[in-house]
Amino acid sequence: MIIGYARVSKDDQNLNRQIDQLTDYGAERIIQEKMTGTRKERPGITQLLQMIRANDVVVVESISRLGRNTLDILNLIQLLHDKEIKFVSLKENIDTETPTGRAMLQMMSVIAELERNLLADRVREGIEASRKRGVKMGRPRIAQEKLDVAIRMYQSGDYSVKEVLEAAQISSGTFYREVNRLQLKKINTKHKNKNEQ
């Protein structure tokens, strides 16, 4: 059996593009999940592992759908291999039945994690550089800069709240207050526009 796995990080994101690609490949069953890839324990992955049998094929649109941590991804691929399951990633053209596919999988996973770590480092360095420029920004302005970075990271859907807080160096209370403030602002703007129509 060919089993597809499709995942997005947030409820408001759409799975249709992934589902279409998996269907075109020939997936007979598709497991759909809306949850951040930073979580190792996910119901969709659990369901997938319970469903698979020897000689099945597991296919994803991109390797990043399996998770965000290199070690977790490689452990999952190894688990599939141990169960005699073929793994295919369409975007990266990876097929674990070939030596080239297995090598490419490992390299792509390492590069993906390196890229995310570098991005988080650049965010931290940018905040630190702002402090060292000698520009008197004042405490509230620095706090707002951190909040802006945190919100952009959060809205990208690529980071867990824990990763956002660590990169922006803000407290969870500060972060959630800003999220709630922006949501309230969005609602008020929507009502205002509706009343003006």
Query: Greater confidence, 3 or 79?
Result: 3
Model confidence over 54-85: pLDDT tens digits?
999 999 999 889 887 776 787 788 888 889 99
What three-state secondary structure class fits 7?
Answer: strand
How far is Cα 78 from Cα 61, in angstroms, rounded to an integer? 19
> Do 105 and 158 fall into the same domain?
no
Count of structural domains within the chain:
2
Bridge partner list, 58: 3, 87
Model confidence over 128-169: pLDDT tens digits?
777 777 655 444 555 677 788 888 888 887 788 888 888 888
101 in a structural domain: yes
* 39-48, 58-67, 107-116, 157-166: range with lowest mean pLDDT: 107-116
Q: Quick one: pLDDT band at residue 192, thresholds 50, 70, 90?
A: low
Whole-Å CA distances, 191 to 87, 93, 181: 48, 47, 15
For residue 27 the two structure tokens come to: 């997936």
Mean predicted confidence (pLDDT) in 96-116: 75
C-alpha torsion angle, residues 151, 139, 177, 145 (rounded to 10):
-10
Is 9 an annotated catalytic residue? yes
175 in a structural domain: yes
Q: Which domain holds residue 40?
A: 2-110
Q: What is the largest CA-CA distance in the chain?
A: 64
* 66-70, 96-100, 169-173, 192-196: range with lowest mean pLDDT: 192-196
Query: What is the DSSP code (8-state) at residue 55?
Result: T
Neighbouring CB atoms inside 10 A of 188's CB total: 10
> Do 103 and 6 fall into the same domain?
yes
> Do 106 and 157 fall into the same domain?
no
**Active-site option among 9, 64, 89, 109:** 9
pLDDT, position 168: 81
84 in a structural domain: yes
pLDDT, position 171: 83
Bridge partner list, 2: 57
> Do 90 and 17 fall into the same domain?
yes
Q: What is the pTM of this model?
A: 0.54
* DSSP assignment string, 113-147: HHHHHHHHHHHHHHHHHHHHT----HHHHHHHHHH
